């Protein structure tokens, strides 16, 4: 059967997964009356809860006797490593652009990678049914982007469709018939080339996706780059440097049919397949016939820019809420993660029973932590730090910068500009974007954005939208002011009581409720002043045998501030940690004992001096 391989790439929330739903439905991939969840490709619990795609996934449809393998990719910049690997498997790409939001940072990132691979993308202006759609302007923006990224004349002559993924139609004309997605299917068949690969050479493929199956074990997905594969054929696996990893047998060979992986007996060059039967092969190894001597080339992935320390939970409540609490279990889980997630790097930390985990951003590492806590792990997490480097030519220290695009209501633009400048951000552009909104573009050090997102939402009353993209390394920008206010720290072990918390709420904002377990060194709230303050949250009211003239006044507590995992990680300072368990997220000081904290402060002060 004739084959086409395409990836759907776009900025986050521009409608990729919803469009794939409609492509599956209209191609007949679902049976009549089959119950299918919305965003069927987002099968992961975290993907459904957050409404974003985290992992790239394959599906396949048949249109006019041609099999179209479709790969749905993440849109968020933190998961760009998934997109980079996937582009190695396809011969074409559909670039989705929101008809109102237009070209955003991640659009630039994914289009740049696709053009560099030599792909000739199809551009789809999606969500054309929005009231604030501006199709002609977006068309111009896309053309300008392609030109700025050095597209060839052939790539600049891109075909274009106007579509509504939710309503399930696409058309070559802005005011066309708007019936269904057949114009998109037909354009893919016309514009995307069939794989031009050698079917008679020895079998070889590059592993691009790795996942685990309870019955099959390790399952590797990739495109067959040459030759044919059959069930039970012998295999060998080569690293990128040519080292032999293992030999084995192809026990299970699967191809994609709709949302399912279906067993097949034989596949040939060009098809996207999943194989089982290997124990050590990982991304981006070459899997092939025994006669293969050289590994296939794989696209290098951009390096991480942010690191966090994952530590054993050594607090007084450690081991009570999770099942996996030892440093060996944490280590095994982290090293298993990097087998399938090439954008993450793990190194042993100088601290005992701790690991440095480097990734693309707070969201990517936050998703890993959330996944681990749901698996029963207990951890303590340190403050995120950027990974710096030294310029070999000048010897100058450099740090990662990001390009930030902010869409905000005009009255809030002043406070955003002020906060970004305090964090060493420099405004590159400011223009009206319609509907009383302004679009601001900044260049800012990545560390300036740590912890800013929740503050940004507060400043803009929840109406602002911030998009960011790694923009390369630039000279160190100097010190950036951190959190202004100090912490309220528990001086006692026990259970927080209402009487004590009532008297403490005048000192700042509390993070705990009455009845919660607390311990020495745990952070109970944010102090209203700059300094840290040790307080007693377990102090009971002394009872006497003297009757009061009237009843005690009702002790009314202000509801505590509850932080999500990402908010907690962004909130802490260098001398603080986030304690993460399957049921709790707590904040604590790195050194629980107040005397140890004082010693650490003096050491830090002497080092700075």
Binding region for GTP: 13-18, 126-129
Residue 122, helix vs strand vs coil: strand
Element housing 288 (H / E): strand 286-288
Unique residue bearing structure tokens 């923006």:
141
For the annotated binding site, the residues are 13-18, 126-129
Q: What share of the chain is helix, strand, coil (3-state, %, to 5)?
A: 25, 30, 45
Token pair recorded at residue 518: 């607390």
Sequence-distant (6+) residues with CB within 8 A of 607 are: none
| Contact yes or no for 54/79 (Cβ under 8 A) | yes
With CA atoms as reference, report the closest residue to 299 among 480, 81, 507: 81
Separation of alpha carbons 106 and 112, rounded Å: 10
Q: In this structure, how many other beta carbons lie within 10 angstroms of the beta carbon of residue 7?
A: 27
Q: How many residues does the chain have?
A: 609
Pairing of strands 2-10, 66-72: parallel
Q: How far is CA 214 from the centre of its chain?
A: 25
Unique residue bearing structure tokens 């010897």:
395
Sequence-distant (6+) residues with CB within 8 A of 483 are: 451, 571, 573
Backbone phi, psi, residue 557, to 5°: -100, 140
Separation of alpha carbons 199 and 462, rounded Å: 55
Element housing 430 (H / E): strand 426-434
Unique residue bearing structure tokens 């080092």:
607
Cα radius of gyration rounded to whole Å, the chain: 27
With CA atoms as reference, report the closest residue to 14 among 78, 83, 81, 74: 74
Strand segments (E) across 454-522: 465-475, 487-490, 494-495, 508-510, 517-518
Sequence-distant (6+) residues with CB within 8 A of 452 are: 419, 423, 570
Q: End-to-end alpha-carbon separation of the chain, Å?
A: 72
């Amino acid at each position: 059967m004739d084959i086409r391989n395409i990836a759907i790439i776009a900025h986050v929330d521009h409608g990729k997964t919803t469009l794939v739903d409609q492509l599956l439905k209209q191609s007949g991939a679902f049976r009549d009356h089959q119950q299918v969840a919305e965003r069927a490709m987002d099968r992961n619990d975290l993907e459904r809860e957050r409404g974003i795609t985290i992992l790239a996934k394959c599906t396949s449809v048949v249109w006019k006797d041609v099999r179209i393998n479709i790969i749905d990719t993440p849109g968020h910049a933190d998961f760009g490593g998934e997109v980079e690997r996937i582009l190695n498997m396809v011969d074409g790409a559909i670039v989705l652009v929101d008809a109102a939001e237009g070209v955003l940072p991640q659009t630039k990132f994914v289009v740049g990678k696709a053009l560099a691979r030599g792909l000739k993308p199809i551009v789809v202006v999606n969500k054309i049914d929005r009231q604030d759609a501006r199709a002609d302007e977006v068309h111009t923006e896309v053309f300008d982007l392609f030109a700025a990224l050095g597209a060839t004349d052939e790539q600049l002559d891109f075909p274009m469709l106007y579509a509504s993924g939710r309503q399930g139609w696409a058309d070559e004309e802005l005011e066309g018939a708007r019936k269904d997605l057949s114009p998109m299917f037909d354009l893919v068949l016309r514009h995307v080339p069939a794989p031009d690969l050698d079917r008679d050479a020895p079998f070889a493929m590059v592993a691009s996706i790795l996942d685990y199956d309870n019955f099959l074990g390790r399952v590797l997905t990739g495109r067959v780059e040459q030759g044919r594969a059959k069930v039970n054929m012998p295999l060998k696996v080569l690293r990128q440097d040519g080292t032999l990893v293992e030999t084995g047998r192809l026990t299970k060979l699967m191809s994609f049919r709709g949302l399912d992986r279906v067993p097949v007996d034989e596949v040939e060059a060009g098809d996207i397949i999943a194989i089982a039967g290997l124990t050590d092969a990982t991304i981006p190894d070459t899997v092939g016939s025994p006669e293969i001597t050289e590994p296939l080339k794989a696209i290098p992935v951009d390096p991480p820019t942010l690191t966090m320390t994952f530590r054993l939970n050594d607090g007084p409540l450690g081991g009570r809420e999770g099942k996996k609490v030892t440093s060996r279990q944490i280590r095994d889980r982290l090293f298993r993660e990097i087998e399938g997630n090439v954008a993450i790097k793990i190194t042993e930390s100088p601290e005992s029973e701790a690991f440095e985990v480097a990734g693309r951003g707070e969201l990517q590492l936050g998703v890993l932590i959330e996944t681990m806590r749901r698996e029963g792990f207990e951890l303590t997490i340190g403050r995120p730090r950027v990974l710096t480097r030294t310029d070999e030519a000048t010897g100058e220290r450099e740090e990662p910068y990001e390009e930030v695009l902010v869409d905000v209501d005009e009255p809030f633009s002043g406070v955003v500009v002020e906060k970004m400048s305090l964090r060493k951000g420099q405004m590159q552009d400011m223009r009206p974007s319609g509907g009383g909104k302004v679009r601001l573009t900044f260049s800012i050090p990545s560390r300036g954005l740590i912890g800013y997102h929740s503050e940004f939402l507060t400043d803009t009353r929840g109406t602002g939208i911030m998009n960011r993209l790694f923009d390369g390394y630039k000279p160190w920008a100097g010190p950036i002011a951190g959190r202004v206010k100090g912490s309220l720290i528990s001086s006692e072990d026990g259970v927080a009581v209402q009487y004590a918390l009532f008297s403490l709420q005048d000192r700042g904002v509390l993070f705990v409720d009455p009845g919660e377990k607390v311990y020495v060194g745990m952070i109970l709230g944010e102090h209203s002043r700059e300094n840290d303050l040790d307080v007693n949250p377990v102090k009971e009211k002394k009872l006497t045998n003297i009757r009061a003239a009237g009843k005690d006044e009702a002790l009314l507590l202000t509801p505590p501030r509850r932080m999500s995992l990402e908010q907690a990680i962004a909130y802490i300072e260098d001398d603080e940690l986030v304690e993460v368990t399957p049921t709790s997220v707590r904040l604590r000081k790195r050194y629980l004992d107040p005397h140890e904290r004082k010693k650490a402060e003096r050491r830090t002060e002497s080092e700075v001096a």
